[in-house]
Amino acid sequence: MLPKARSRQFGFTLLELMIVVVIIAVLAAIAVPMYSQYIRKSRRADAMQRMQQISLAEERFRAENPGYTANWALLGGDPDTTSPTGIGEWFDWADVVVAAGPPATWSISVTAVGKQAKDNAGGVACTTLTLNQAGTRTPAECWEN
């Protein structure tokens, strides 16, 4: 009679696979919300950068004219229509509000829409961002973070 050959089985047990699945689930539960917040913060930064471009356009216009303008065409275009799949998709751009003065003033506000409406910084909701001719940015926490 021949001696019995030992067979070696390779693979993973069900318990080992379940442990790996649990570890992946925990990592995903932590990573997905952090990633989502990072994306919202980057979209907010894009909107703030566009608001600052509009601010510069207003000041250029004022340097050559007696006041500011509420005409989007003179300010580089309405972000709702010029960037419908970018900034215009995540923020509703209000009209530029201009007061003839004296002193002449302007302000622009954007309101977050869709998933962007969950954005916050330092516990403050960043759903509406505002910038005016004096450089006042509200809410301040959203502009700092």
Domain residue extents for the chain:
15-144
The answer to whether 58 and 106 are in contact (CB under 8 A) is yes
126 — pLDDT class (breaks 50, 70, 90): very high
Summarised one tens digit per residue, pLDDT across range 62-73 is 999 888 888 888
C-alpha closest to that of 57 among 40, 41, 42, 73:
73
Summarised one tens digit per residue, pLDDT across range 66-101 is 888 888 888 888 887 777 777 888 998 887 888 877
> What topology does CATH give the domain 15-144?
Glycoprotein, Type 4 Pilin (3.30.700)
Q: Work out the mean pLDDT of the chain and round it to a whole number.
A: 87
Q: Is the model's pLDDT at 144 over the cut of 70? A: yes
With a CB cutoff of 8 Å and minimum separation 6, the contacts of 72 are 78, 95, 96
2 — pLDDT class (breaks 50, 70, 90): low
136 — pLDDT class (breaks 50, 70, 90): very high
pTM for this entry: 0.78
Query: Rounded to an integer, what distance in angstroms lies between the CA atom of residue 37 and that of residue 33?
Result: 6
